[in-house]
Amino acid sequence: MSGLGVLLAPSYSLKGELDRGALVPLFPAIRPLEDRFSLYQKAGRARLARHRLLTEYLEGLTPSEFGA
């Protein structure tokens, strides 16, 4: 939402903005078959406890937790 005007992102990551009406879908009839994303971290930080805990948490999430 940093003033670019158009954004391509999974809807679950914008739920708050969509609910408030701050963002509106440009092509509401288009429904992607699936949302895919990847997360990366620096190799040197992968061993830090806080990074391991975050990774474990994210690995435990199910698709239904992201909303419709």
**Residue 58 — φ and ψ, nearest 5°?**
-65, -40
pLDDT recorded at residue 49 = 92
The answer to whether position 25 is within a domain reads no
pLDDT recorded at residue 12 = 79
Which residue bears the tokens 């708050």? Answer: 16
- Structural domain total, the chain: 1
Tell me the average pLDDT across 7-36: 79
Dist CA 17 CA 13 (whole Å): 9
Nearest to 51 by CA among 42, 60, 62: 42
- Residue 67, pLDDT above cutoff 80: no
pTM of the complete model beyond 0.85: no
The answer to whether position 3 is within a domain reads no
27-63: per-residue pLDDT in tens? 778 777 766 666 778 888 888 999 889 888 888 888 7
Which residue bears the tokens 């003033």? Answer: 3
The answer to whether position 6 is within a domain reads no
